[in-house]
A and B are shown apart, each in its own frame.
Chain A
Amino acid sequence: AQSVTQLGSHVSVSEGALVLLRCNYSSSVPPYLFWYVQYPNQGLQLLLKYTSAATLVKGINGFEAEFKKSETSFHLTKPSAHMSDAAEYFCAVSVHRDDKIIFGKGTRLHILP
């Protein structure tokens, strides 16, 4: 069965600094990978997804992620953090012929002024 592990339940960065949120996956078949963002008291919305095309995926709000098969990773980055990026971020995995989407435990991103 597939799974994802997000390293760090809380990450703090200064405004303008690089954002790096880590996600490692486990899957016996090629995965589809997703990053979602959740703002307070809201549902989840998609930031970006990897679907076996380009390994570097660009998403909304300046975020991007790179699929690295050798490292089984799909880390999320943004060159310069904004205060509005403060939220909880979830990595998720799905595979062909399996109907489920499995989520990680989430990383709460704090932006320091």
Chain B
Amino acid sequence: NAGVTQTPKFRILKIGQSMTLQCTQDMNHNYMYWYRQDPGMGLKLIYYSVGAGITDKGEVPNGYNVSRSTTEDFPLRLELAAPSQTSVYFCASRRHNMNTEAFFGQGTRLTVV
């Protein structure tokens, strides 16, 4: 059972480039989340989804887009990379929105130069 899988693990982008961070889960969870982690700032919610075809903005959505065409996959798109998007990105999933915990991927470390 793989859980939540994120690819790539590391990436260096130039300013203005675009990329997609991949996230897939094999637990049949309805809820999926994207967070970014910056030193001393904890985890900030970027986007989340409560099921296929449904997405919503979190605390820091600017500069990002998401889609949820299947239950398993929740890719995060950066259209025009900026240095402020240098961060570690985590994808997470959980079964429902009550008392269940989230399961996290191993993260993607992104540097924009």
Interface residues of A in 45-59 (CB under 8 A from B): 45-46, 49, 51-52
Number of A-B residue pairs at CB separation under 8 A:
61
Contact B104 A43 (CB under 8 A): yes
Would you call the interface of chain A mostly helix, strand, loop, or mixed? loop
Decide yes or no: A103 and B48 within 8 Å by CB, A90-B42, A97-B97 being known contacts.
Answer: no
Question: How far apart are the CA atoms of A7 and B107 in the complex, in Å?
Answer: 25
Interface size class of B (residues with CB under 8 A): 20 to 34
Residue numbers in A under 8 Å from B94 (CB-CB): 101
In the bound complex, do residue B42 and residue A100 qualify as a contact, i.e. CB atoms below 8 Å apart? Answer: no
A110 lies within 8 A of chain B by Cβ: no
A-B contact pairs, 19 of them (CB 8 A): A34-B101, A42-B107, A43-B106, A44-B90, A45-B104, A51-B99, A52-B99, A90-B42, A94-B97, A94-B98, A96-B97, A96-B98, A99-B50, A99-B56, A100-B48, A102-B45, A103-B35, A103-B42, A105-B40
Known: A42-B106, A44-B90. A100 touches B101 (CB 8 A): no
Which of B's residues lie within 8 Å of A, judged by CB?
4, 31, 33, 35, 40-43, 45, 48, 50, 56, 58, 90, 92, 94, 97-99, 101-102, 104-107
Closest residue of A by beta carbon distance from B42: A105
User: Which residue from A44, A99, A100 sits with its C-beta under 8 Å from B104?
Assistant: A44
Contact B42 A106 (CB under 8 A): yes
Known contacts A51-B98, A101-B102, A102-B45, then 17 further A-B pairs from the complex at CB < 8 Å, ordered by chain A residue: A34-B102, A41-B107, A42-B106, A43-B4, A43-B104, A43-B106, A44-B90, A46-B101, A49-B101, A94-B97, A97-B97, A99-B50, A99-B97, A101-B33, A101-B45, A103-B42, A104-B42
